[in-house]
Amino acid sequence: MTTDNAHQAARDVVLARLRGALGDDPTVPTVPRTYRREGAYAAGSPELVDLLVDRLEDYRATVARTGADDREIGVAVAEALAAQGVRDAIAAPGVPADWLHGIPEHRLDDGSATPRQLDRTGAVVTGSAVAVAETGTIVLDGGPLCGRRAITLVPDTHVVVVRVADVVQTVPEALGRLDPTRPLTFVSGPSATSDIELSRVEGVHGPRTLVVVLAG
Partner 1 sequence: MSTFLGMPRGRVPGPPADPAVGQLTGDRPFPAAARSALGNSRLRANLAHATSTIRAKRAAVVEEVPDWEALREAGSAIKAATMARLPELLEQLEANVVARGGQVHWARDAAEANAVVTDLVRTTGADEVVKVKSMATAEIGLNEALEAAGITALETDLAELIVQLAGDKPSHILVPAIHRGRAEIREIFAQRMPGVDTGALTDEPAVLAAAARAHLREAFLRARVAVSGANFAVADTGTLTVVESEGNGRMCLTLPQTLITVMGVEKVVPTWSDLEVFLQLLPRSSTGERMNPYTSTWTGVTPGDGPSEFHLVLLDNGRSRALADEAGRSALHCIRCSACLNVCPVYERTGGHAYGSVYPGPIGAVLTPQLTGLTGGDDPNDSLPYASSLCGACYDVCPVKINIPELLVQLRAEHTEAHAEKHRLPTPEAAAMRAAAWVMRDADRFAAAGRAATVARRGIRKGKPVLPLPPPLNGWTASRDVPAPPAETFRDWWSRTRGARS
Of the residues 34, 71, 160, 177, which one makes contact with partner 1 according to CB under 8 A: 34
What span, in angstroms and rounded, lies between the C-alpha atoms of 55 and 180? Answer: 25
Task: Find the shortest distance in angstroms from Cβ 35 to partner 1.
Answer: 4
Q: What are phi and psi of 61, to 5 degrees?
A: -85, 155
Of the residues 190, 209, 211, 214, which one makes contact with partner 1 according to CB under 8 A: 190
What span, in angstroms and rounded, lies between the C-alpha atoms of 56 and 132? Answer: 10
Site string for partner 1, 68-107 (x = CB under 8 A): ----------------------------------------
Of the residues 100, 119, 123, 215, which one makes contact with partner 1 according to CB under 8 A: 119
How is the beta sheet containing 167-168 ordered, strand by strand?
A: 137-140, 130-132, 167-168
Task: Find the shortest distance in angstroms from Cβ 61 to partner 1.
Answer: 10
Task: Find the shortest distance in angstroms from Cβ 43 to partner 1.
Answer: 16
What span, in angstroms and rounded, lies between the C-alpha atoms of 206 and 202? Answer: 10
Asked if 150 and 202 count as a contact pair (C-beta separation under 8 A), the reply is no
Site string for partner 1, 150-169 (x = CB under 8 A): x--xx---------------
